[in-house]
Structure 1
Amino acid sequence: MKLLLRPIQVIYVVYALLVWLGIMFLILPFIALASLLGKIKGGNITFYFLRLWAHLWFPLVGIWVRKIHQDNHEKGTFLYVVNHRSYLDACIAVKVMGLPFRPLGKIEMKKIPFFGFIYKQSVVLVDRSSAKGRSNSVREMMYMVKQKVSVLIFPEGTTNETDKLLTPFHNGAFRIAIETQTPLKPVLYLDSGIRFSNKKMLDLSPGRCRVLFLPSIPVDGLTMEDIPALKDKVFNIMYTALKEHSQYQDSVLEKAI
């Protein structure tokens, strides 16, 4: 049966890629113009076009993104901490996160033709190959937060390709939250790893993608000595929520909206 369905799967993935590229090329000129307005204003405008792209692409490929709020729809500037399971995660963030915000992204991605230009305009680039590169990205994230622009970080550092719900967190997000006194907001992508596995590029599939917003965690008055405890607290909150929701059926999940 799998062999019979494989050609259909390949056609679906090619279709999804072509739609993705088509929308990208449509918004590229507008993003090029927005880039002339500077890192903050231009970047914010860029995200409105990226959100338009996401609102078009997901329905066209049969993926339904649904937000589940357990945070009373909090507003404000946050340091989003998000679990990382799939290449879809960045696309989902564009669709569901409150604007304005900037994700932390690998500097290598800016080398991709056309897409790299959009990527460079819309993320805080991090070069993990050098201490200077990491330091520059931290300074830029702090600058964004001071400009009332939220920052999104995957605290696991890379895509979780293990069987564990979460892999150990790095310190960076928690250090920045304390230094800028910005509340942390845990967000969980519950289905992105099912929709698109990083291990198999042809495994993109239509279906639901739930995004769970948890209550923010204040950092008022915390110091660098509190980083380990804060990191453990956030990890445990996210792990517990992931474990809980992985056991729920659709009828129960509806009550969480």
Structure 2
Amino acid sequence: MFLAAYEHVLSPFHNFDEYLSKRGQLPHAREPDDPLRCPMTYYHDQDGVSPWSIMEQDPNRMRDFQLAMTVFNQAVPVLGTFDYRLLRNSPDEERDGRVQLVDVGGGRGTVLGEILAAFGDSLKAETCVLQDKPGVIELSRRNRALPGAVRRMNHDFFTEQPVKGAKAYVMRAIIHDWPDATCVNILTHLAAAMAPDSRLLICDAVLPPRLGEDNFFVAIVDHAVMALAGKERTERGFSDLLHQAGLELVRVWRVSGGAQAGACVEGRLKR
């Protein structure tokens, strides 16, 4: 995890003052809001190329990042927020093979594998989908903790969502990687695929209005994703994003331990 943190987070901030100066943001700096012109692209001298495309240029770099995400998932609980038993299919839905859960940008499948292991009485592997870019999906095939029956699908979440009407679409540690305008684009594609009863589950930290000492970990993560032009958000911030994408916030599922323990923002189509 240290290698990934150093490569993608610490290194781009070595020359952050130079970045701000070249962007004409001194002395009135503002948060990075363009993923094609962010601290990471500046550090690699690749403005105009997304941070994720930069990572894909080196298979070892992408591998280290995916391993770091596995460690992140161990540090920040996957379970204990949303009750995935709510996604149990009815007899009619089971007969029709309705997709229960789509893990959008799900990486190697660590999160989906953990959910299936805990909720195997309600979720079936064959009605769950793991989506990510081709290179990452290939890595998922080596994940022995992810059942082979899970449908693995190459997908770019900036394009039309191909799985229509699933019971739920989950994104963990995805939305915080992107600025607001980009998030609205991602969420709009999901909204277009959702059925009236579909749920959108955004599993990210939900910041309190004001951070304190108990929120040190999430403050570090907020600093980290700023290298990509991303940010952590408050409940109001998530509500605003959902509204712009034609969705509405239903509730925030939380576990004890503050923002760093993780949360799940549940959304649905506007009613």
TM-score by length of 1: 0.35
Structure with more of its chain in helix, by fraction? 1
